[in-house]
């Protein structure tokens, strides 16, 4: 039995029960959230398991993970800062903001800080073009949106997180 199926048999059935059998493919996004729930990302094997459950090709499931910013295929820090760098946001300074923040944290986009707290990701369109630079944060408390951002203000927020979050290195 697969990992996803063995861990979440009842929850998977509850999700599938919400859809008519001929429309079970519609359960793909709830199943992806279920697969991502515990570890904060979707393990590679879960894509094929979800495909098997829903009669979808693994690539069909993987395209959703690649398209939506709320799905992740890689482990990350406790907080994911996803900075929009789409054209409209770039015209309002998002690329400079991304570069400045990464330099201050001594990482590159897609990387995680040494303490394991923050991962910076570049994404497209978070629907706040007129308030760029902007980003969304995904963390233990859910999702929050931050608009008209500065590097200094974001570093202050990260400092606050560091005060209330145990050192990730100690947890390993």
Would the CATH topology of 3-67 be identical to that of 79-171? no
Q: Over the Cα atoms of the chain, what is R_g?
A: 18
Q: What Å distances lie between residue 25 and 18, 19, 74, 89, CA to CA?
A: 11, 9, 24, 34
Residues ≥6 apart with Cβ < 8 Å to 128 = 84, 134, 145, 147
Measured CA to CA, the distance from residue 95 to residue 7 in angstroms comes to: 41
Q: Over its length of 172 residues, how does the chain's per-residue pLDDT go in tens digits?
A: 357 767 788 999 999 999 999 999 999 999 999 998 877 889 888 999 999 999 999 999 999 998 888 898 888 899 999 999 999 999 999 999 999 999 999 999 999 999 999 999 999 888 898 999 999 998 877 889 999 999 999 999 999 999 987 654 444 3
Per-residue confidence (pLDDT) for residue 112, from 0 to 100: 95
Domain limits, the chain? 3-67, 79-171
CATH topology of domain 3-67: Arc Repressor Mutant, subunit A (1.10.10)
Per-residue confidence (pLDDT) for residue 158, from 0 to 100: 96
Name the pTM for this structure: 0.75
Residues ≥6 apart with Cβ < 8 Å to 22 = none
The reply to whether CATH 3.40.30.10 applies to domain 79-171 is: yes
């Amino acid at each position: 039995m697969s990992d996803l199926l063995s861990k979440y048999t009842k929850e998977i059935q509850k999700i599938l029960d919400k859809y008519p059998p001929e429309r079970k493919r519609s359960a793909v996004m709830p199943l992806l959230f279920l697969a991502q729930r515990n570890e904060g990302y979707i393990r590679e094997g879960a894509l094929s398991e979800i495909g098997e459950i829903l009669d979808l090709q693994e690539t069909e499931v993987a395209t959703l993970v690649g398209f939506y910013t709320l799905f992740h295929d890689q482990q990350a820090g406790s907080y994911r800062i996803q900075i929009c760098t789409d054209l409209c946001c770039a015209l309002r300074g998002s690329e400079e903001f991304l570069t400045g923040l990464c330099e201050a944290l001594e990482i590159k986009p897609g990387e995680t800080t040494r303490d394991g707290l923050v991962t910076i990701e570049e994404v497209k369109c978070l629907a706040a073009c007129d308030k760029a630079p902007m980003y969304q944060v995904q963390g233990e408390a859910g999702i929050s949106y931050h608009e008209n951002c500065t590097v200094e203000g974001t570093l202050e927020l990260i400092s606050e997180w560091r005060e209330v979050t145990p050192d990730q290195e100690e947890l390993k």
